Amino acid sequence: MIWGKRLAALVLATALLLPLVPMAVWSFARGWRFPDLLPQAWSLRAWAYTFGDISGALGAFWQTTLIACATTVIAMVVGVPAGRALGLARFRGKAMVYLLVLAPVIVPGIATALGLHAVFLRLGLTGSVSGVVLVHLVPVLPYVILVSASLFANYNLDYERQARSLGASAWQAFWQVTRPQVAPGLVVAALFAFLVSWSQYILTLLIGSCQVQTLPLLLFSFASSGRNDIAGALAILYILPGILILLASSRHLAAGTATLGRT
């Protein structure tokens, strides 16, 4: 059983890391032409340029992080109560509500971006970080709401009622009774929100009006210009938060599962 789990983990890690190998090689390559299996020369030039002041990669990295964190916080504040209400409520037409929540994900992103661009122009939100954060909520909120709804769909409200009967306020009942039980799922919702916002390109391009420079925009510009070495270095920098979040969340969820199992 243990060997089976280790083999599954090895296969998963290989599947996740194997596509990154060409990007890593490109980031250190000075020349790599077909049909050579390895580059003719190696260089740190791409990494030096990436971390230099001219590329703007570090500024774009921190700006992307700021936007993703702000979007995640707002999405959790709005989406968790909405998901709780949707998961606990029983009413006719609930499937239609789920469909409406999913609509921003189902509709092609370019159509959503073009429609919102005219609205944001009138509101004066184009070309600003706040406008990009708000538009990122469109694809992020459905994930938070749906994950939260699935968490509370089978949640027993008697725990909160008992805490309230003992004198706890609504906030105390949620923080001390409900939160520990749903914390692993809320972590998943927050991670989804962060990664979806982190990877946005079309919405950031249109609403940011090229004045809000994020890492996906910078990566696409170098990839389309044929600078594969710099694009490889930026790609590694781009996927690094996702890998770190995956490792951290797996440990957190495993610890949460073990805690729930003991209780």
Tell me how far apart the 2 most distant CA atoms of the chain are, in Å: 74
Q: What's the total number of domains in the chain?
A: 1
Q: What is the domain-level CATH number for residue 217?
A: 1.10.3720.10
Instruction: Give domain status of residue 149, yes or no.
Output: yes
What is the C-alpha separation between 20 and 18, in angstroms, rounded? 5
Instruction: Give domain status of residue 37, yes or no.
Output: no
How high is the pLDDT of residue 260?
Answer: 46
Q: What is the mean pLDDT of each run of 10 residues along the chain (263 residues)?
A: 71 74 80 73 85 86 93 95 88 85 84 85 90 93 91 83 83 83 86 91 88 90 82 87 73 54 50
Instruction: Give domain status of residue 9, yes or no.
Output: no
How high is the pLDDT of residue 180?
Answer: 83
Instruction: Give domain status of residue 49, yes or no.
Output: no
Q: Could you list the residue range(s) of the whole structural domain that residue 213 is in?
A: 56-262
Instruction: Give domain status of residue 101, yes or no.
Output: yes
Residue 29 phi/psi, 5-degree rounding, is -90, 140
Instruction: Give domain status of residue 180, yes or no.
Output: yes
Confirm if 231 and 142 have CB atoms less than 8 A apart.
no
How high is the pLDDT of residue 256?
Answer: 52
Instruction: Give domain status of residue 35, yes or no.
Output: no
CB proximity list for 33: less than 8 A, separation 6 or greater = 40
What is the C-alpha separation between 144 and 187, in angstroms, rounded? 10
Distance of CA 60 to the CA centre of its chain: 16
Instruction: Give domain status of residue 175, yes or no.
Output: yes
